A and B are shown apart, each in its own frame.
Chain A
Amino acid sequence: MSTQTFLTGNGDSRETLVVIFLRGAADGLSLVAPIEEDAYFRARPRIAIKKKEAVPLDGFFGLHPLLGELEPAWKEGDFAIVHGAGSEDQTRSHFEAQDLMEHGGLAAGGWLGRFLRARPEATSGALSCVAVGRLLPESLLGAPSATVMENLGDFSLGANSPGFARELQRLYARESDRLSVAARDTFDAIGRLDAMRSATYQPANGAVYDPKDDFAQGLQQIARLIKGRVGLEAASIDIGGWDSHFTQQTVIEPLLKRLGGGLAAFRRDLGADFQRTTVVVMTEFGRRVQENSAFGTDHGRGSVMFVLGGGVRGGRVHGPWPGLKEEHLEGPGDVPVINNYRNVLAPILRKHGATQESLASVFPGFELKPVGLYA
C-alpha cells in the first residue's frame, strides 16, 4: 500500500476542494447582475447595481463592484459563474433549503461526506477534511474523518511532554505492519504543522488577508494547510448573514467585501497551488426579483454559484439565462432554478476523483445533467 492513502505530509499534490456556503440566501442578482436587461432595473429602481459601477463580465452580466477584487481571476480564466443555480426545494425556508442542499437530497449524511467516503481511496488521512468554524456542517456528515477547527493549534500532539512523541515514534517504528506506516505519515504531518505554527506566516505574492475578518483568517488557515501539503482534500467555511429583507445594501455590502477580498487573497496567496484547488461558493436560494418596500428583497428561488480554480472553464457565465421578463419567472416572481446545484457540484467532484458510479450515491435519486464546467 502506498503511503499516499494515509495521513500524508509527504508533499503529494493532492487536490483540495473548498466549499463556501453563504447562509441566509444571497441575492444572485446583486452578486452577478444582468446589467443589460431593462427588466432588472425596472424591478429594482432603488437597489439595482448600477451599470456603470458593475465590473463588466461578458457583455451582459456585471459583477458587484465590491467583488471587484475577483476581476483578475475572471480575466485570467480561473473564475466561472453559474446563474439560476439552486435546488428543487420550493418551501423558500432557509432551514429546509439548506438541509436539502447540504444533504444532497433526502439522504443520510451530507454530499461532501459521502463523496469523501465513496472514492476508491476513501481511507485517506486524518487531516483530509476540515471544517473551519465551531460546528461540523451537515454537508460533511458521514465523512471518513472530519476535523472542526478554529485554528491550526487544533492539530497537534496533545501530551505536554517531548518524550511522548519521541517514545511513540520509536515504538511504532518497530512495528512491521500498516500501523507503522500510518504512524510515520502522522509524525510527518505533525512535523509540517508544527513548523507552520512556529513560523510567522507570510502570505505569498503580496496577498493580504484582513486580520479582523474571520472568513479571511479561515481561508488563510486553509491556504496554509494546502501549501503545507498535509493531505487536505476538502475544507468548508461559511459566511452567514445574507438574509436581506430590509435595506439590502447595508446588509450585504460588508459581506461582499469580505467574500471578494478573502477569495482574492486566497487565490493570490496560493499562487501555482491554486491550480490544484477548486473553490465553490453556494447559497440555499436566491431572492425575489422585485425589491420590497423596505429596500430589501424577499425569499426567492434561483441564485448564483461561483466556481474558481484549476482547469475550470472560467471567464464565462454557464447555463442559459431566460431573462427577467415576467413569463420567465417562477411563483411570486423569482429567478427560476435552471441549474440544479448538483449539476454544478457533480463535474467538480468528478475532477476531484469521484467515479461516475459513486456520484449516484453522492446524489441519490437525481438524474445528473452536469454543467460543462470543465473541457
Chain B
Amino acid sequence: MNLSRRHFFALGAGALAAAAGGCDQEKQAGASLLRWVGKPTAPPLEGPLTAPAAVEIDETSHVLNRLTFGPRPGEYARVAALGTAAFIEEQLAPERIDDWMCDRVIRHEFDELNEPESHLFPRRGDQKDPLQQLFPALKERGARVGDLYDIPEQALLSDITRATILRAVLSKRQLYEVIAGFWSDHFNIDPSKGECRWLKPADDRDVIRAHALGNFRELVRASAISPAMLWYLDGRVNRRKSPEEKPNENYARELMELHTLGVHGGYSQQDVMEVARCLTGWTVRDKHRWQKGKVEFDPKEHDDGAKLVLGQTIPAGLGAADLDRVLEIVVRHPSTARHIATKLCRHFIDDQPPKSAINTVAGVFAQTDGEIRHTLRALFSTPEFLQTRGNKLKRPFHFVASALRVTNAKTDGAQPIANALLRMGHAPFRYPTPDGYPEAANHWTNTLLWRWNFAANLAENKLKGTEIDAAGLREKLGGDAALAATVLGRIPTAEEEQAYRGSGAGLALLLSTPAFQRC
C-alpha cells in the first residue's frame, strides 16, 4: 500500500478523534505522528573503491571536498577515472544525472512538500467548514475536521529539515545541493516568524531549488514575490493607501544590502526608501481559505508616482512593473556582481577570498547577466580555486553530511541528526536573521566537542535511525590504511596513523581529526 504522508496524519487524527481523549492522549498521538519516518537508506557501494594514494589532497579529492558534501566510498576512484573537468561539467548539469534513489525517497516520504502553499495552512474556523457539517461525530469527540488533513506545524519543519539532510547525504546531484544550501543562506528565511512556518517549504522548492543553478535575476525575482519572503521581511505590509502612509523599508533594504549590491555597494537611505515605494502593493492573501498564501498585487496600495533608484528614473504609472525595473537596476549594478562573486569565492575558495578570483568570477557574472552555471564554471576554473586546498573549515552541516556519506551510513535523516545539528548551531532553516548562517571558520570552531561526539555516536551506532557497518566497510575498502585514506582524502600522516591505532575507536577518531573538519 502506498501510504502518503497526509494519509498518515489523517489516520492519526482519526484515531485521535475516536479515542476522544484528553490533553495527554492528544500529546501522545502527536508525538507518535512525529515519529513516522521512512526506512534508513543508503545507496549500494558500486565500482572500484580504490582509496586516494597521494600524500597531500590532490585535485580529485579537492574538487570532491568543495563541490560535494564529501565523497562516498568509491567516488574518489570514479572521479579520478573521469577527470575533474568532466566531473565539474557533470555536476553543473544536474538535470542529466539519474538520481532515482534520492528522488524516490524524497517523493515518497515528503509528498506534502510538493503541494501548493495554500494547502499547508491549518484550517481554522472549522465550524463554518462544510466538511465539518458532514462529520458531526468529530465535533462531538472534541476533534476538528482540520485534524483529518492538516500537516502539524512541527512535522512540516521536521520534514523540510529531513528532506534537506537526506538530499545532502543521498543525492548524486551534489553540487546542486551545495549551491541550493548557499542560496538558502543568501536568501535566508527563518520559518519561525509568523506564517513563514507554512510558507517556507514552497519558497525552498519554487525559489531556491528552482533557480539554484539558473539565472540570478530570476532567482531574485522569485524571492521578491515569494509569499514566505513577503512575510519574513514584511513586504506584505509595505503599502501606501494614503499619501501619509510610509512604506515599510525592511525588504527594500535587505534586497540591496544582502541579496544584491552588498552593504557597501553604493546605495543610500534615499535609494532604500525609493525601492520600498516601488514595491508597495505586493502582498500575501490572508483570507479565503483555499487561496491563503497567494501573492497578489493591489494597485490601490501601490505608490504609482515616479521614483529615482540608484540614479535611474522609474516613470510614474508602471504599477506592478516597477518590480522588474527595480530588479533590472539592482541586479545589473556592478556592486552586485562583485558581492555575489565575493560570497561565492568565500564559500568555494577561502574565508578571505583572493581578489584575482573575485574579479574573474564577477566579470563572468556580469557578462552572462547573472547565469549561475557559467559563473560557477568560471570559479572552478580559476587557479585560486584549484590550488587552495584543505584550508576551509567544514561548517557543521557539511561535517555531518560528509561523515554520513563517507561511512556509507544508512539513515532516515530524522531527529538524532537534526538534534546534533541544532546543538552545533547549524540546523537547516533555524537561522533567525536575514543574513543567513555565517561562512567563516571563526563562527564554527566552538563546535568541536559536538563534532567529536557525533563521530563517536555514529561510529558506535548510537544514533537512532542511522546505522553503519564499520567492519564491512573496512573490509570492502581493503583494510585500515584504505579506510583512513578514504576518510581523509589522502594517505594519513604517521601521527594520524598512530592516533588511529592508539585511540581504540579508529573510525570515530578519523572522523574527529583536524583533517576531517576541513575541506
Interface, chain A (partner B; CB < 8 A): 1, 6-7, 103, 106-110, 113-114, 117, 122-126, 128, 136, 138, 141-148, 155, 157-164, 166-168, 170-172, 174-175, 178-183, 186, 189-190, 361
Contact = CB atoms under 8 A, between A and B. Distances in A.
A7 B442 CA distance: 12
Contact of A109 (B433, B450, B456): B433
A175 B446 contact: no
Contact of A170 (B190, B192, B495, B508): B495
Given A144-B425, A167-B503, A171-B496, A126 B447 contact: yes
22 contacts: A103-B193, A106-B194, A108-B189, A108-B190, A108-B192, A109-B432, A109-B433, A117-B432, A125-B446, A126-B449, A142-B433, A158-B460, A158-B462, A159-B508, A161-B503, A162-B504, A164-B505, A168-B499, A172-B514, A178-B445, A179-B517, A189-B449
Counting contact residues on chain B (CB < 8 A from A), the size range is 35 or more
Most buried by B among A109, A113, A114: A109
Contacts of B131: none
B447 to A, nearest CB: 6
Interface string B181-208: 0000000011111101000000000000
A182 B503 contact: no
A123 B445 contact: yes
A170 B442 CA distance: 22
Interface string B443-456: 10111111011011
Nearest to B453: A158
A252 to B, nearest CB: 20
B504 A164 contact: yes
A160 B433 contact: no
Contacts of A138: 192
A199 B419 CA distance: 29
Contact of A124 (B193, B446, B460): B446
Nearest to A161: B504
B423 A147 contact: yes
B148 to A, nearest CB: 22
B444 to A, nearest CB: 8
B422 interface: yes
Contacts of B455: 159
Interface of B: 189-194, 196, 232, 393, 422-425, 430-433, 441-443, 445-450, 452-453, 455-457, 459-460, 462, 495-496, 498-500, 502-505, 508-509, 512-514, 517
A109 B192 contact: yes
A145 B433 contact: no
A73 B360 CA distance: 65
A138 B446 CA distance: 22
A159 B446 contact: no
B448 A171 contact: no
Contacts of B450: 126, 145
A141 B430 contact: yes
A354 to B, nearest CB: 15
Nearest to A190: B449
B509 A126 contact: no
Contacts of A122: 443
Given A126-B449, A163-B502, A164-B505, A158 B432 contact: no
B194 A159 contact: no
B432 A114 contact: yes
A3 to B, nearest CB: 11
B445 A168 contact: no
Contacts of A361: 433
Nearest to A172: B514
A158 B457 contact: yes
B514 A145 contact: no
Contacts of B504: 161-164
A143 B443 CA distance: 12
B425 A146 contact: yes
A108 B495 contact: no
Contact of B393 (A107, A117, A141, A179): A179
